[in-house]
A = this chain, B = another copy of it.
């Protein structure tokens, strides 16, 4: 672990100073997108550039939660594709290699013009649920767009899927329509890449129960964004468990009953080890 000084001047500007020589070194930076996503990105751009100007041999950027991932295509005219711009700015700042975790869409891999390892949390989650020996499981996607990811996770557990089909009248708001597939008398695992405001998953829970699902419903998602009313929503909802990772730090005051966090630390350690020893990383991502 290298030493580095990062401070903010009273005018808001970030100041970075590396406290030891990195000349000719292979540097690994770990930076995730929290609720201060814009500050996080600016800090990341400056960190990468500092390493480059300090003669690092290569800069590997590990981004546990890639912010702006949902803006990966045009939803309406005259928007931009912010996820692509973030990728471009990261590359422009001088990154040589990117490591991400469970990207919102797999196509984002191609947004980076440098090699990228997109690590998967699917196996970690599957192992967790297999250890529970639950019967009559079904993986449920909270929306149609997540159906494919849910299918892959269901394949890992060797169980069927169901899908919630909602109409989303406005950004960030969600209304559930109806359940496609069989959920009656089954134990549901609602599966998604991230939990943001948790509004739609909470409404999904109600819809599933109404359809006769076992009321002990599990919520499973890689990225605990937990923004807006998420904590309130999740605290009042009676999920059996909310299983997530630590790609985004969850402060103690945000932790609620039923929250389980599986650490990605060993995955990061492993990928760094593979990169240094120049061995195949692929076993980590499929």
Q: Could you list which residues of chain A lie within 8 angstroms of chain B, going by C-beta atoms?
A: 9-19, 21-25, 34-39, 41-43, 45-46, 49-50, 52-55, 67-68, 70-74, 76-85, 88-89, 92-93, 97, 105-111, 115, 118, 144-145, 147-148, 150-151, 155, 160-163, 165, 167, 171-172, 178, 180-181, 196-197, 225, 227-229, 274, 278-283, 285-286
Contact = CB atoms under 8 A, between A and B. Distances in A.
Contacts of A162: 180
B11 A282 contact: no
B78 A21 contact: yes
A272 to B, nearest CB: 13
A21 B72 contact: no
Given A16-B79, A180-B162, A110 B109 contact: no
B45 A89 contact: yes
B23 A73 contact: no
A78 B17 contact: yes
Contacts of A21: 78, 279-280, 282
Most chain B CB within 10 A, of A16, A88, A107, A279, is at A107
A285 B78 CA distance: 12
Contact of A12 (B36, B105, B118, B281): B36
Given A11-B196, A38-B14, A165 B161 contact: yes
A15 to B, nearest CB: 7
12 contacts: A9-B171, A10-B227, A12-B38, A13-B71, A15-B79, A16-B80, A18-B78, A23-B279, A49-B80, A52-B115, A54-B115, A73-B107
A81 to B, nearest CB: 4
A49 B71 CA distance: 13
B106 A10 contact: no
Given A14-B38, A148-B147, A196-B11, A93 B85 contact: yes
A214 to B, nearest CB: 19
Contact of A286 (B22, B23, B77, B81): B77
A281 B52 CA distance: 15
Contact of A42 (B11, B25, B35, B41): B41
